[in-house]
Amino acid sequence: MYVSNVLKVLYSPRKTLKEVIQNPRYIGPLLIMLLLIAVNVASTYAVLSKEYYEQILPSGTKLDEWTENSTFWTSNANITESSDAINGSIYGNASIAFSIQNSPQVWMQLTGIGTVDCSVPNGFNLLSFRIKWTSPVTQPENVTIQIFSLNSSSDYFYSDLKDTFSNATYNIWNNVTIPLDSSAWSGSSRNADWGNVTGLQLQFTWAGNSNVTLLVDGMFFHGPFKSLLETGGTSYLLDYGVSGAFQFIITWILLTGLIYVLVRAFKGKVFWKPMLIAVGFILMTMFVGALINGIGYSTLPTIRFPFELIGGVQGEGTVALNAISSQTWLVTQIGTVAELLVWAWTAALASLVVRAVAEFSWAKSVAVAIIAYVITIFIAGIIA
């Protein structure tokens, strides 16, 4: 009977709530909570299986550590940590400055990064960094890069970046992204291996002797896209399952408690358990809302969140963000409409509960239900 009532409350609420109030048992709300947990897990799987995020290295708590800490670097120049840095969510608050007097060349070498897989197709196949030179005012005549592999003194890959820097500008942060493991690179030996990258060296050369000051920031390997299911496993599914249960319990207790207080404030007679069970039944609407969202997300194509969005530099991710917004616009709108309908539906069912339990007039029942539910949404939103 209670399994049947869980469904009947959606299309025959008055009769169902009457039966529930006459014979209140917790099994009905508990079944609804289990359904909500199940649909939350399924919806989360649908979302996470569609969303792919570009992976970066360094990652986690070590974001941008290579250009925050000067001990990673060696150079023919003086090395300092500068507060002149990129403003972005993953870029920290420092850059590495290299300064040398009366020289045509400055080189800087990054080591101590461990072993990085930069092989195609699954490795980090892009290298990004920011370069700014504040002296001299002219462009470097030539720029080269070496990617070290295994024995860095003899096994490395080499590429000329002169064309890459042909449009670089003096005294601003220039964003450089270089494809790895491609035909643009030459290997020093057969032992050079893109699957075992251990460091790199950049070299900038000017036409004549100069006082050179050059800053490096935001150096990352990136390129492969992975879903959160791949990187986080089932932990995300479990988290959202628990979140669904928590959301149900908070809404259930808050709405019941507020209706109880308001009914008593209006001098009505009410019994806690019948009302608690009845309110638990009407929260079947939460399951319907979650189901609509899950079905909507399951229809989406694969959505890729690129490095520019992760970086958080203002303006850089606009194109990618617009593309993602256009892909998800319809599902987002459906979700918003479904949420509003669920709110209205739940408030209407709550008014039936108030009328059935407290025997108030329709006007008073609707007023109590709306006030209680609006406050519930507000408080639950804060708690969530």
Concatenated DSSP letters of 278-341:
HHHHHTHHHHHHHHHHHHHHHT---EEE-HHHHH--TTTTHHHHHHHHHHHHHHHHHHHHHHHH
pLDDT at residue 154, as a whole number? 81
pLDDT tens, residue by residue, 8-29: 888 888 898 888 888 888 898 9
Alpha carbons 67 and 88: distance in angstroms, whole number? 14
Mutual orientation of helices 235-265 and 272-282 as an angle, nearest 10°?
130
pLDDT at residue 107, as a whole number? 94
pLDDT tens, residue by residue, 33-58: 999 999 988 888 888 888 899 999 99
User: What number of other Cβ atoms are within 10 A of residue 154's Cβ?
Assistant: 12
pLDDT at 116 over 90: yes
Please give the mean pLDDT across all residues of the chain: 89
pLDDT at residue 308, as a whole number? 85
Q: Which two tokens stand for residue 170?
A: 């003096």
When pLDDT is averaged across residues 107-115 and rounded to a whole number, the result is 92
Confidence of residue 1 (pLDDT cuts 50, 70, 90): low
3-state secondary structure of 267: coil
pLDDT at residue 320, as a whole number? 83
pLDDT at 215 over 90: yes
Residue pair 278/255 in contact (Cβ under 8 Å)? The answer is no
Confidence of residue 31 (pLDDT cuts 50, 70, 90): very high
User: Which whole-number Å values give the CA distances from 373 to 54, 253, 271, 340, in the listed order?
Assistant: 41, 11, 19, 13
Residue 150: φ, ψ to 5°: 55, -110
Specify the range with the lowest mean pLDDT, choosing from 32-46, 121-135, 236-250, 321-335. Answer: 236-250
Confidence of residue 239 (pLDDT cuts 50, 70, 90): confident
pLDDT tens, residue by residue, 160-207: 998 888 888 999 999 999 999 888 898 888 888 899 999 999 999 998
| Peptide bond connecting 140 to the previous residue in cis, omega within 30 degrees of 0 | no
The domain covering 56-224 belongs, at the CATH homologous superfamily level, to Galactose-binding domain-like (2.60.120.260)
Could you give the count of Cα atoms lying within 13 Å of 324 in the half-sphere of its Cβ?
A: 15
Query: What percent of the chain stands above pLDDT 70?
Result: 98
pTM, rounded to two decimals: 0.79
Confidence of residue 370 (pLDDT cuts 50, 70, 90): very high
pLDDT at residue 187, as a whole number? 87
pLDDT at 233 over 70: no
- Intervals of CATH 2.60.120.260 along the chain: 56-224
Query: Strand pairing partners for 200?
Result: 110, 147
Per the listing, tokens 């309908």 go with 341
pLDDT tens, residue by residue, 59-102: 877 889 999 999 999 999 999 999 999 988 888 889 999 999 99
pLDDT at 376 over 90: yes
pLDDT at 315 over 80: no
pLDDT at 210 over 60: yes
When pLDDT is averaged across residues 241-257 and rounded to a whole number, the result is 91
When pLDDT is averaged across residues 291-315 and rounded to a whole number, the result is 86
When pLDDT is averaged across residues 373-384 and rounded to a whole number, the result is 89
Alpha carbons 25 and 31: distance in angstroms, whole number? 11
Confidence of residue 109 (pLDDT cuts 50, 70, 90): very high
Alpha carbons 86 and 97: distance in angstroms, whole number? 13
Confidence of residue 377 (pLDDT cuts 50, 70, 90): very high
